[in-house]
Amino acid sequence: MVDNTTVLANAMLEASTDYQQRVPDVTQAGIAQVSEFLFRPMNRKYLNEFMDIFVNRIAGEVVHQRDFQNPIKRKREDILFGTTIQEIGLDFIRAHAYKDDWGHREADLTNLLKVYRPDGQVAYHSVNRYDQYPISINRTELRAAFTGEYGLNQLAAAIMQVPYNSAEYDEYGIYKQLIAEHEYRHGFFKHQLAYPVDESTGKAFLRALRAYADKITIPSRLYNAKDATIPVWANREEISRMVLYIEADAKASLDVDTLSAVFNLDKAEAQYRIQFIDSIPIPGAYALLTTEDFWMCADYDVSNDSFYNPQTKTETWYYTVIGMYSTSPFVPAILFTTETGTVNNVVEQAVTGLTITPDTAEIVPGDQLALVTTIAGTLTADPVTYAIPNTLSVAPDACIFDLTASLTTTTGEGESAVTTVEAVPLDIDTYVDRFGILHCGTTVPIGTEIVVTATSTYEPTEGARETATATITVVESYS
């Protein structure tokens, strides 16, 4: 515990030049002379300066050694400009086919002038906490603090500890309420699992925890907020930034060493990443796995100001906390609950066939012909109550193409006529490109029939891939 002499000596070091020159040095004059000087009516400004240093610098350090701190606090840098933070989440960009023959189609020039913007979502977080914690100290109590050896230390506790602890406890409640607010506004991904009360249920929880600790390192749209459509993930190197918030009774059934292994941490660091919480204000919920970025919390202004009332001879300190408290919908978060878990809507595709259009056609040597392949099938929703979006269809239509060619010739007439079918080798100029365009080489004989066999790239769970054929006849000119 810090004695009065130390407090007054530290105040002297922090004080202004005027204070240092006028106020007696406690190490030479003693506490009594310093007290007598500060409480003279004409020296009010020096007493005010001492109290300002004492409350805002010295007392804060004294109290912080034995105060209550919000155990789940995770804060970003202080807000320096404005009162609102805009959080932007961007979706992936859909791949477009690379065209090595760019410029041969009218659409190429049109696409060149397009503006490509990624889809995304925006969340706004604003300053929403304006709390003040006043406490008053009478001049008589202040003078008495100088007489006891540790009186100023005890006064520090009276002035700072109660307001600070009150603010921290309220903040702890705010953080817990943010979890409930997140569920109400956005919705968690929920995993239904029995409350861990023994070895069996504890191991089941740990298995699920290990699985999700790996799963959320892969981009997914499952583990973000229900109203967020962008993929979210935590990078492998950020696994140490994951935090497990768990109720005390559930934590008691788990082995801390095993929990540490899930996050690749030592036991000391795990105490920070595996955070006890007395209760999660969501029915059935007992644990939350997320990252530090889940909390969109920051201080806007934290101050301790005073006002002296000469009528009552009391000094009132106002501990003020202004800040932003919110959560991000663009961060993976898994809520473990005994209630019904999140039901993932699944659409099953059953392919029934493949068509190629046109299935018969003519082509002139050196020309091109567009072939369109379409896969047919059905989509079934699970659960059946899920409405399949109109944008979802049986896919993909992409195929692999194989070409064979033959030439049919007839010699003789009437009953003596002989028909011969010979295979025609195709050179590298005759092929189907990745856009489904058949290119016919200039050396292909007139009358050759090119059979294009399209094989779907869709891999069914059972059976062979679907195929379709088209017969293209090489002619001298179009009829």
Digit-by-digit pLDDT tens for the chain (479 residues) are 667 787 778 778 888 888 888 888 877 667 888 888 887 878 878 877 777 777 666 555 555 545 678 888 888 888 888 889 999 888 888 777 776 665 555 666 677 777 888 888 999 999 999 999 998 877 776 777 666 666 676 666 666 778 888 999 999 999 999 999 999 999 999 999 999 888 788 888 888 988 898 899 899 988 988 888 888 888 877 667 788 999 988 888 776 656 666 656 555 455 447 888 999 999 999 999 999 999 999 999 998 888 888 888 888 889 999 999 999 999 999 999 999 999 888 889 888 899 999 999 999 999 999 999 999 999 999 888 888 888 788 888 889 999 999 998 877 777 777 788 899 999 899 999 888 999 999 999 999 999 999 999 888 877 788 999 999 999 998 87
Q: By the 8 A CB rule, do 145 and 155 touch?
A: yes
**Exposed/middle/buried for residue 297 (C-beta within 10 Å: 0-12, 13-18, 19+):** buried
Residue burial 363-391, b: 16+ Cβ < 10 Å; e: rest: bbbeeebebebebebeeeeeeeeeeeeee
Architecture of domain 346-474: Sandwich (2.60)
CB 444 within 8 A of CB 474: yes
**Cα(325)–Cα(72) distance, integer angstroms:** 13
- At 269, give phi and psi (nearest 5°): -70, -30
Number of H helices, E strands in the chain: 14, 19
CA angle 140, 145, 152 (to 5 degrees): 140
3-state helix, strand, coil in the chain (%, to 5): 30, 30, 35
Name the one residue in this structure whose structure tokens are 């010739």.
Answer: 409
Cα–Cα distance between 261 and 245 in angstroms, integer?
Answer: 16
Burial class (CB in 10 A: 0-12, 13-18, 19+), 299: middle
Q: Is 357 helix (H, G, I), strand (E, B) or coil?
A: strand
Measure the CA–CA gap between 77 and 411, rounded to whole angstroms. Answer: 90
Residue with tokens 């009010």: 44
The count of C-alpha atoms lying within 13 angstroms of the C-alpha of 229, restricted to the half-sphere facing its C-beta, is: 6
pLDDT of residue 269: 52
Q: Hey, what amino acid is at 84?
A: T
What SS3 class is residue 255? coil
Distance, in Å, from the CA atom of 420 to the CA atom of 152, rounded to the nearest integer, reads 115
| 8 A C-beta contact, residue 391 and residue 369 | no
Q: Give the pLDDT of residue 159.
A: 66
Residue 425 CA to residue 445 CA, distance in Å, equals 10
Q: Identify the CA nearest to 167 among candidates 64, 250, 242, 276.
A: 64
Q: Which fold has domain 71-93+107-149+160-344?
A: phage-related protein like fold (3.90.1690)
The 10 Å Cβ neighbour count of residue 219 is 12
Where residue 313 falls (left for φ over 0; alpha for ψ -120 to 50; beta otherwise) is left
Nearby residues of 333 by Cβ (< 8 Å), 6 or more positions away: 182, 188, 189, 223, 224, 225, 288, 289, 290, 294
**Residue 279 backbone phi and psi in degrees, to 5:** -165, 150
Q: What is the side-by-side order of every strand in the sheet holding 84-90?
A: 84-90, 120-138, 314-327, 295-309
* Cβ-based neighbour number of residue 402 at 10 Å: 13
End-to-end Cα, the chain, rounded Å = 106
Give alpha helix (H) positions in 296-373.
none
**Residue 174 to residue 323: CA distance in whole angstroms:** 11
CA distance 380 to 346: 8
**What pLDDT is attached to residue 158?**
64
Report the Cα 385 to chain-centroid distance in Å. 29
Which segments of the chain belong to CATH 2.60.40? 346-474
